[in-house]
Structure 1
Amino acid sequence: MTMRQSIRFVRDGKAVELTNIGPNDTLLDYLRLTEESRGTKEGCAEGDCGACSVAVGSINSNGKLEYQAVNSCIQLLGMLDGKEVITIDDLSRGQEELHPVQDAMVRHHGSQCGFCTPGIVMSLFTLYHKGIKADRPAINNQLAGNLCRCTGYRPIIDAALESCNGSVDDRFSKALKTTTETLTGLDDGQDVFVGTEERFFAAPVSMASLAKLYSQHPDAIVVAGATDVGLWITKQLRDLPKIIHLGRVKGLDRVEDNGNELVIGAGATYAQAEEALATIDPDIAEVVRRIGSTQVRASGTIGGNIANGSPIGDSPPLLIALDARLGLEKAEGKREIRLEDFFIDYGKQDRQPGEFVSHVTIPKLAENQFLRSYKVSKRFDQDISALLAAFRLTLENNRVTSARIAFGGMAATPKRAGKTEKALIGLDLADQAGWVKAAETLEQDYQPISDMRASKEYRIDVAKGLLLKALHEISHSASGTDSPETRVIGKREHSLREAV
């Protein structure tokens, strides 16, 4: 197969082709320094504040053009191959009137200093293009990744309620057919390799070409969404000479429901997978909703969260509790292991040179199985967990016959609570004294550390409390006596955090 030595994307309705890009070049630097489109701002340079948010358009699995907000500060420029990029500078270009989102922001006084405003407008632009009548929870969720320190969110939310009303009528919707055709024409089915053997950005299009390239360059950094690797460049100032991007590999973004289990490709983003994951249990949907922000979930992948091997990653303990299996692949062959066996020690995973994560297989719950999962963090939205707890219990006649408990943030790796699981076997859920005894066993499973997010004492106390909470909720679910008081998931509409 021939290789293309350039990247191509759409800007302002026209295809742009670049042949001289570095592997560490970011979209934000290209926009501000090369293109001189300086409406997009750099705030934190780590994907937190949202000031740099832009809209990226791509053809989804249904063949339709879809816009999502991303943090341009940690988007590598090469990752934009085959996509459309829209910035704040483009919204009213050539128009006599402001874009509906901009107009509403002006009239509702949704800006003061204005530094964060471009990112907020672009986040709302993507919500506008969903074509839904957005309510307050949807808007709050959309704006969780956009921080504003001076305006206050009430006027911004008012502007969003008015503009994101289900009616989509702007110059981008009018150009929908033309843009879709242009993007489709950019997909030439060729591997991308820009640079030299010593320094390159590569984006293969097939599993075979990915495996071959990675076997030739096992020292390369494999990148899916760059929500973590991007910070190596912008905050740690590391030079990464070899980048292999997974975003163009056919089939790597698959999300398949096989009835009893889900198969999620390593390149599938949280945004692509969250609907399928929510079918397993509502707790999963809520944990996923609180992973990063809308911008992060549009780029970050479950496969990347696993391969990263972080002890505080949110998805691994949840998937370990579900007894997920991990697919690994390299040029010489494929293998599948239990996800819990992938994590060996801090920063060390069972992954051979040239081997990459290809997919994760997630069993669904049987009728007599119950899942509970909780994320504990200092901020409710867009924060790294102090700990992530996941519990899956199998019951017969109200007794626990099987238990899988996993925590993130309690050890050097995502780790099961083996002794506590054994303590739960045979427990009648009516025996609340047994709950407390099992919770105390957690001290034998974990010796957490103290750090900036939580003390070791706090972590173990919270872990015990969450197990008791899970047992309380599951006992009500098993007996059919669920109520809002026994299971509260994502109930923010009555919270004082809401703008009123």
Structure 2
Amino acid sequence: MIHFLLNNQRQSISTIDPNTTVLNYLRNVQRRMGTKEGCASGDCGACTVVLAEVENGQLAYRSINSCLTLLPALNGKQLLTVEDLKEADQLHAVQQAMVDHHGSQCGFCTPGIIMSLFAYQKNASQKKSIQNNPCVEFNKAEALAALAGNLCRCTGYQPIMNAAKEIGNHHQSDKFDQQKQRTIDILNSIQPVQCHAISNAQHSTTHALKTAFSPTTLQELDELLQQHPAAQLLAGGTDLVLDITQKHQSFNTLIYLGEILVLKQINLTATHIEIGAAVPLSQCHSVIAEEYPDFGHLLERFASLQIRNQGTLGGNIANASPIGDAPPALIAAGAILQLRIAGVRRFLPIDEFFVDYRKTQLAQGEYIEKIILPRKPQDSIYRVYKISKRLDDDISAVCAAIHIKINHGQVSSAIIAFGGMAAIPKRASHCEQALLNQVWAETTIHQAMDALQHDFAPLSDFRASADYRMRAAQNILLKCWIESQSALKPNANANHKPTQTLPHIPTRVTDYV
């Protein structure tokens, strides 16, 4: 059974198909029609809702795509939809700002935009409270990030941004602030203490029995995997649930990982960053960005905020997509995976994890427990590049990560990894060998660019042709060398000047309004 708050009403569910998305639950069970289905793939944002949960004694509000979220993710949280914002006949300040600034025309996307702005307002208000500074100014970049996962075909984004600016500059207390302590108390009282489940048990005579288990410890997870070795693990679900919404598949046994606290922890040591496999991408961003700034910029371009609030680093690795953004960056950083099966752990370099298209080294019943990221050496150059058709909320055509060390003008170590160039995220071993122990010079880079053709034979698809992918990958190497010149000591490469410049390859979110 799962327990959660729908607005301020406690809900308990034990019997339901666990393949039910939050969107379908809201519309078909609760008959709440404000939340819309646009794409059912997490791209348009029309289905955006907000989850509130207790963190460090406070409420944390996060926007999510309800079309990609399954019901186990609601347990112990508060679910808020557009119907919950107004009080009596008075619109919430976020809704009123959208009206005042003419931020809606056809209105189909408006509920999702409203909920993204609501989460943005709550987080901006909390930042002002933490900083004890009510005069913190509107942050346009934060507003853009909050709205990057919401598409509008007719209004135009400037009126919506005008509403966001008003919301960011003028916060007034609302009913959620006034009810905060009551909400915290209720959520604390419904936190799980042991494994629980939901299933379609009452309908199992006519349909296959479908069950979702939610363990709270690694021991419970190990036991479940021994009992159900073919069970499908579920973390954020932002990729897995596409099989339900797009391919119309259904899973008989799901095991939800989001209530195992040790899988949601980040531990910092003097030499490593340890990230639990179920930590959402948005929550590990700041830690990664501080150590590896380019990796942080990559995460800012990873899908949308709604996806990053649900999707996990462990899931992005385990699904073994050849175009996943995180694996190349992790390979270049020298990340190690801590794997576990039946209580036994083993450690595997991430560049050895991927075997073939969507295949990994994981044995049946084995799972990723944590990702161990070495601290970045201060004297190394670490760069990440993502090439995609759209700057925000898009899948890579090519993703590259380059990590090199230069000693006395020569390359002493090199790890170069690519996504989108093969059936798996993969190191460019011939390219690395072309660089090792060579002068870090433009002639060396051109040799490494040629060597890439021995590392990869990319395919053509609707994102990019094989020729484009190879040319982009080669130019990324040259771009990295050109950019590195300012990072090196003045005398390290005084005799080698760049003879050409490249078109700008965007690597981070920019203003588009």
**TM class by smaller structure:** over 0.9
Contact 2:301 2:509 in 1 (8 A): no
Query: For 1:264, what is the secondary structure of its paired residue?
Result: strand
- Hey, what does 1:435 align to over in structure 2? 445
- Hey, what does 2:40 align to over in structure 1? 45
CA distance in 2 between partners of 1:321 and 1:436 (Å): 20
CA displacement 1:139-198 (0-9 Å, x = unmatched): 111111000000000000000000122635111111111101110000141211223695
- Matching residue within 330, 336, 340 for 1:329: 340
Contact 2:35 2:111 in 1 (8 A): yes
- Hey, what does 1:269 align to over in structure 2? 280
- Hey, what does 2:58 align to over in structure 1? 64
- Hey, what does 1:469 align to over in structure 2? 479
Give the superposition deviation at 1:399.
1.5
Query: For 1:373, what is the secondary structure of its paired residue?
Result: strand
- Hey, what does 2:495 align to over in structure 1? none
- Hey, what does 1:3 align to over in structure 2? none
CA distance in 1 between partners of 2:167 and 2:161 (Å): 10
Counterpart AA for 1:54: V
- Matching residue within 88, 91, 95 for 1:98: 91
Contact 1:128 1:166 in 2 (8 A): no
Contact 1:58 1:65 in 2 (8 A): yes
Give the superposition deviation at 1:113.
0.1
Counterpart AA for 2:510: R
Give the superposition deviation at 1:79.
1.4
CA distance in 1 between partners of 2:215 and 2:372 (Å): 23
Query: For 2:261, what is the secondary structure of its paired residue?
Result: coil
CA distance in 1 between partners of 2:168 and 2:178 (Å): 17
Q: Counterparts in 2 of 1:270-289, with a 5 A limit?
A: 270-289=281-300
- Hey, what does 1:302 align to over in structure 2? 313
Give the superposition deviation at 1:490.
2.8
2:74 is the counterpart of 1:80: yes
CA distance in 2 between partners of 1:208 and 1:168 (Å): 46
Change (3 A) 1:47 1:491: closer
- Matching residue within 449, 457, 468 for 2:459: 449
- Matching residue within 488, 492, 496 for 2:510: 492
Contact 1:207 1:250 in 2 (8 A): no
Query: For 2:402, what is the secondary structure of its paired residue?
Result: strand
CA distance in 2 between partners of 1:126 and 1:427 (Å): 51
Give the superposition deviation at 1:281.
2.2
2:369 is the counterpart of 1:358: yes
2:23 is the counterpart of 1:28: yes
- Matching residue within 137, 141, 146 for 1:142: 146
Give the superposition deviation at 1:332.
4.7
Counterpart AA for 2:46: A
CA distance in 2 between partners of 1:10 and 1:286 (Å): 35
- Hey, what does 1:129 align to over in structure 2? 122
CA distance in 2 between partners of 1:161 and 1:480 (Å): 44
Counterpart AA for 1:346: Y
Query: For 1:21, what is the secondary structure of its paired residue?
Result: coil
Give the superposition deviation at 1:239.
1.2
Give the superposition deviation at 1:293.
0.1
Contact 2:198 2:211 in 1 (8 A): yes
Give the superposition deviation at 1:261.
1.4
Give the superposition deviation at 1:491.
6.2
- Hey, what does 2:433 align to over in structure 1? 422
Give the superposition deviation at 1:12.
2.2
CA displacement 1:335-363 (0-9 Å, x = unmatched): 11111111011121101111111111011
- Hey, what does 2:111 align to over in structure 1? 118
- Matching residue within 440, 459, 468 for 1:458: 468
- Matching residue within 170, 191, 197 for 2:195: 191
Contact 1:51 1:119 in 2 (8 A): yes
Is there any run of 5+ residues in structure 1 with no aligned partner, and where? 1-5
| Aligned pairs, number | 484
CA displacement 1:117-155 (0-9 Å, x = unmatched): 000000000000011543222111111100000000000
2:181 is the counterpart of 1:177: yes
- Hey, what does 2:496 align to over in structure 1? none
Counterpart AA for 2:434: A
Contact 1:255 1:272 in 2 (8 A): no
Moved more, 369-378 or 183-192: 183-192
Give the superposition deviation at 1:398.
2.4
- Hey, what does 2:162 align to over in structure 1? 158
CA distance in 2 between partners of 1:168 and 1:145 (Å): 25
Contact 1:211 1:330 in 2 (8 A): yes
- Hey, what does 1:7 align to over in structure 2? 2
- Matching residue within 56, 79, 89 for 2:83: 89
2:304 is the counterpart of 1:293: yes
CA distance in 2 between partners of 1:350 and 1:376 (Å): 28
Is there any run of 5+ residues in structure 2 with no aligned partner, and where? 128-136, 202-207, 492-501
CA distance in 1 between partners of 2:436 and 2:485 (Å): 15
Give the superposition deviation at 1:488.
7.4
**TM-score using structure 2 length:** 0.92
Contact 1:128 1:168 in 2 (8 A): no
Give the superposition deviation at 1:457.
0.2
Contact 2:322 2:420 in 1 (8 A): yes
CA distance in 1 between partners of 2:9 and 2:80 (Å): 12
Counterpart AA for 2:153: R
- Hey, what does 1:252 align to over in structure 2? 263
- Hey, what does 2:499 align to over in structure 1? none
Contact 1:101 1:164 in 2 (8 A): no
Change (3 A) 1:263 1:166: farther
Contact 2:428 2:452 in 1 (8 A): yes
Contact 2:298 2:507 in 1 (8 A): no
Contact 1:53 1:69 in 2 (8 A): yes
Change (3 A) 1:356 1:434: same
CA distance in 2 between partners of 1:168 and 1:312 (Å): 43
Consecutive aligned runs of 4 or more in structure 1 exceeding 4 Å deviation: 485-489
Query: For 1:403, what is the secondary structure of its paired residue?
Result: strand
2:100 is the counterpart of 1:107: yes
Give the superposition deviation at 1:480.
6.6
**TM-score using structure 1 length:** 0.94
Identity score, percent:
40
CA distance in 2 between partners of 1:220 and 1:168 (Å): 47
Give the superposition deviation at 1:37.
1.0
- Hey, what does 1:236 align to over in structure 2? 247
